[in-house]
Structure formats: C-alpha cells, structure tokens
Structure 1
C-alpha cells in the first residue's frame, strides 16, 4: 500500500514523502496515529500544494534573513575592556558583552545566534557572525578597545 507521510517517521521517510508499506502497517499503525494518509490522487494534490506553500514560506524567510545580513554588514560595534600592562585582556570578551554592544546599535539577537570561531582574547577588530537562518550567517565588525 502506498501512503503519504504526514510527519517524519524514523527509518521510513520525511513529511510529504510517498512510501510503499505493508497494508497492515499502514492500517494498524501509521493511519490511526495520523502519521500517514492513503496515497489517493486528491491527497497527492493536497500534499503538492502544501509543499509548494512551505517552499514559498521558506524562500521568504531566507530572503528576509539575507536582507538583515546585508544591514548587519554595515554595523560596527565597540566593546571596551580592561587590560594589563602588556595590553592583554583579563579574560575573553563574553557573548553577553558582544550582544549588549549590538543592542546599543539597535539590533537584538539571542545568545544562541552568535557565531564565534574562537574566544576573543585580545584587542583589535574582529568579524563576528550571527546565525540568521540555517543557510545565512550575517557578519558585523566588532572593535575591542581598552578603557
């Protein structure tokens, strides 16, 4: 029996996939638990329309993320830190300090969105990334200066 998966099913497929399973598995497990529906022509058309709608929404989200990344590329933030006599930091610049500096520029992001390749432990200019979308990382310039 062919069914269309309504949800991701381990070892079987992803949402919207048309898979061939044994009749009993479909009737007794997949369909009653609303994990799948019979692969009729009407259901196939409905799933195709749903896939197209999801693809359009995903493209819209990606375009919005790319627009934010473009704006973010023009942003420059400054973090002032305490240093010792040899101009070495007393620690690393924390993620919260970076996000606070970014908020002063009018941009609010979550800590989980911050992408640092390595901790910032020296004075200088750094490019810091923000994960805006699974495929889009925006970068901004961060200046680390001494007090």
Structure 2
C-alpha cells in the first residue's frame, strides 16, 4: 500500500515522502498512530501543491539571506575603548554590536545568530560570523580603536 508520511518514520522515510509499505503495517500502525495517510489522488495533488509552495518560499528566503549577507559584509563597525598605559579597558558586547547595526543600518539581527563570539576587549580588526541560515554565513568586520 502506498502511504504519505506525515511524520518521520525510522527505517521508512521522512515527512512528506511517499512510501510503499505492507497493508497490515499501514492499517494497524502507521495510519491509526497518525504517522501516515493513504496516498489517494487528491492527497497526492495536495502534497505536490504544498511542496511546490514551500520550495518557492525557501528560494525567496534564500535570495533575501544572500542580499542580507552582501549588505552585512559591506559594513565595518568602529568602536572605541579607553586605553591607559597601552592597555585597553572595557569590552564591546554583542548587544552593543546589534544595537549599532539596528540604529545605523536598520538591520535587526538577533545576537544569538552570532557564531561563537566572546566580548571584544582587544584593539584591532575582528571578524565576526553571523549565521543567517543553514548554509548562509556572513562575516561582519568590527574595528576596535583606542582613545585616551
């Protein structure tokens, strides 16, 4: 019997896949437990329409993320730390970086999207990675300068 999986089923397939299983397994386990539905013509057409719509949404989101990546990589943020005896005092936090991106460039980026970042407390140029999507990672340049 052909069924459409509603949830992932170990050793059989993932959600929205059409699989062939034995009649007894489908009738006694998959369908009553809500793991699958029978693959009728109507259900197959609904599945195809939904998958195409999701694919279009994903491609639209990918284009937006690529544009955002280009915009982020064109930015270089400058921060100042107080310096005494050639040693910087203070730190630059993710919250400060996100606030500056929002105020100056209108980019609302969540600080949890930054990949393994510690507070910046050294002078110089720092490269921070921002994970926008599963495959899209942007690099933000942050320049920390000293002031007396």
**TM-score interval, normalised by the smaller of the two chains:** 0.7 to 0.9
Runs of 4+ in 1 over 4 A off after TM superposition: 116-119
Q: Deviations over 1:57-102 (max 9, x none)?
A: 1000000111111222222212223445233455x54322322332
Q: Deviations over 1:18-71 (max 9, x none)?
A: 222232332233223432111233323332222221111100000011111122
Cα distance in 2, alignment partners of residues 143 and 27 from structure 1 = 63
Q: Secondary structure at the match of 1:133?
A: coil
Aligned partner of 1:38 in structure 2 is: 38
Cα distance in 2, alignment partners of residues 89 and 70 from structure 1 = 32
Aligned partner of 1:28 in structure 2 is: 28
Q: Which deviates more from structure 2 when the two are superposed, residues 59-68 or residues 26-35?
A: 26-35
Matching of residues 74-85 of structure 1 within 5 Å: 74-85=74-85
With normalisation by structure 1, the TM-score equals 0.80
Q: Which deviates more from structure 2 when the two are superposed, residues 128-137 or residues 36-45?
A: 36-45
With normalisation by structure 2, the TM-score equals 0.80
Aligned partner of 1:48 in structure 2 is: 48
Residues 123 and 7 of structure 1: is their aligned pair in 2 closer, same or farther, counting only changes over 3 Å? same
Cα distance in 2, alignment partners of residues 135 and 110 from structure 1 = 17
Asked if 2 retains the 8 angstrom alpha-carbon contact of 1:3 and 1:21, the reply is yes
Stretches of structure 1 that go unaligned for 5 or more consecutive residues are none
Aligned partner of 2:18 in structure 1 is: 18
Q: Secondary structure at the match of 2:132?
A: strand
Aligned partner of 2:98 in structure 1 is: 99
Q: Secondary structure at the match of 2:46?
A: helix
Residues 32 and 75 of structure 1: is their aligned pair in 2 closer, same or farther, counting only changes over 3 Å? same
